[in-house]
């Protein structure tokens, strides 16, 4: 079902309003009353779209994940997986959406977003290791290596966002891409 333009505009305003409030306080401290006053909409409009602040947060998370998936699907050839290309897409998205990114890479909300991002890239990363390095490991074996590597990358990205994007996304992509390449070669050596 395609949403009416006014509904999309209202939801966007609510997402931006919540992101702004989350830069100041935790999600537990935010009320619907405070949010609707900030974005200048009626409470009934909020409740016509969302159950509560957490429902809106979950909607925001869904929107960001969907946008990243659409960009990945449009920009990458999945038959030839390149982890650096995925990093480039993720870091460019973060740079283009700084306010929302500050929200998802902060301690003010739950870690469901990073869990979903981790899952989004997992299967493609396994395929890359298997195809690029002819690895015959089980998913369980590769999962430990992947979680170690990707968790480290997410920690670096979180630091980058918290540090107000001290370097360009291209520089960070190059740095993380080099680390990832070395790590891939290490993993491959464990299964040869």
Contact 114, 68 (CB under 8 A): no
pTM of structure:
0.82
Contact 149, 129 (CB under 8 A): no
Q: Tens of pLDDT along 10-38?
A: 999 999 999 889 888 888 999 999 999 99
Domains of the chain: residue spans and CATH: 5-190 (1.10.357.10)
Check whether 79 has a pLDDT greater than 90.
Answer: no
């Amino acid at each position: 079902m395609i949403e009416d333009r006014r509904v999309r505009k209202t939801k966007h305003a609510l997402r931006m309003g919540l992101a702004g409030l989350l830069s100041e306080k935790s999600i537990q401290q935010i009320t619907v009353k405070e949010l609707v006053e900030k974005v200048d909409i009626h409470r009934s409009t909020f409740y016509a779209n969302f159950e509560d602040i957490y429902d809106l947060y979950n909607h925001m998370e869904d929107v960001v994940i969907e946008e990243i998936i659409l960009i990945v699907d449009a920009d990458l050839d999945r038959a030839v997986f390149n982890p650096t290309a995925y990093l480039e897409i993720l870091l460019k998205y973060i740079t283009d959406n700084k306010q929302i990114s500050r929200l998802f890479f902060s301690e003010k909300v739950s870690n469901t977003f990073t869990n979903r991002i981790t899952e989004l890239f997992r299967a493609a990363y396994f395929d890359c290791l298997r195809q690029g390095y002819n690895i015959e490991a089980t998913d369980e074996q590769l999962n430990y290596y992947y979680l170690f590597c990707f968790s480290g990358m997410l920690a670096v990205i979180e630091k980058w966002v918290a540090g107000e994007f001290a370097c360009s996304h291209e520089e960070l992509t190059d740095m993380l891409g080099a680390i990832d390449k070395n790590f891939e070669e290490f993993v491959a050596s464990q299964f040869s």
